[in-house]
Amino acid sequence: MNDRRWACALCISLAVLLFAPPACAKLLQLLVDPSATEIVATVDEPFARIRGTASGSFQVITGEIDGDPADPVKTGHIDLVINATTYQSDSAHRDQSVLRDTLETRFYPIIKFVSTRIEDLKWDAPSVIGGATIVGNLTLHGVTREIRVPISATLSTDGRFSADGDVQFDCTDFNITPPHALFGALKAGRIVDLNFRVIAAPRDAPASTPAPQQ
């Protein structure tokens, strides 16, 4: 009986790390919940030793996570579309500058990530907690480059999936000029720290209700 329970737990954990709750169907699909998903980009401010960092959030448009739980490494796939025009920080002046001059959203309104493979698949608690490295192509500012995104993931009792991660990249790799101040004399940092929490659920699950504003 213990062997049977162990085999069952292992099967379930693989399904979780594929970003899908256990199910009988071979191909599983989850939809990303835009209202619950959070994506925040942080960079050093110009003259960072005094001014610190600046953070701004983006809103997801759509996202899908799918694959075969019997072979998550080969079949797992993630597709995420982000609205670049929704960048919002604590400064209206910064928002305008980033949208107009840095991201040039009039030309490049969409940010997209499409996974190509899953690596370092592991689990810490069967059917509850796991982790992996998601490798894929990030299209930003009209440039597509491969990035590696380590994540940790959990599955709630209602079948909703949560993945948290943090990845850094050089914005100049995407032909992005860092924001600047004092007529270009002081530039913000080139390294973007992208922190995220992606929430997804089965296609037929009801969407979450955003928390009321305080």
Q: What are the chain's domains?
A: 2-202 (2.40.128.110)
Q: Can you tell me the distance from the alpha carbon of 111 to that of 144, in angstroms, rounded to the nearest whole number?
A: 10
Q: Can you tell me the distance from the alpha carbon of 83 to that of 108, in angstroms, rounded to the nearest whole number?
A: 10
Q: What is the pLDDT, as a whole number, of residue 20?
A: 44
Q: Can you tell me the distance from the alpha carbon of 152 to that of 138, in angstroms, rounded to the nearest whole number?
A: 19
Residue carrying the six token digits 């592991």 = 122
Residue carrying the six token digits 């490049």 = 108
65, two tokens:
């996570």
- Look at residue 213 and tell me whether its pLDDT is greater than 50: no
Q: What is the pLDDT, as a whole number, of residue 161?
A: 84
Average the pLDDT over 111-134 and give the result.
85
Average the pLDDT over 125-148 and give the result.
89
Give yes or no for a contact between 131 and 151, defined as CB atoms under 8 angstroms apart: yes
Give yes or no for a contact between 64 and 30, defined as CB atoms under 8 angstroms apart: yes
Q: What is the pLDDT, as a whole number, of residue 29?
A: 84
pTM greater than 0.85: no
Task: Using pLDDT thresholds of 50, 70 and 90, give the confidence band for residue 205.
Answer: low
Lowest mean pLDDT among 33-37, 83-87, 126-130: 126-130
Q: What is the pLDDT, as a whole number, of residue 180?
A: 64
Q: What is the pLDDT, as a whole number, of residue 177?
A: 87
Task: Using pLDDT thresholds of 50, 70 and 90, give the confidence band for residue 51.
Answer: low
Please tell me whether residue 212 adopts helix, strand or coil conformation. Answer: coil
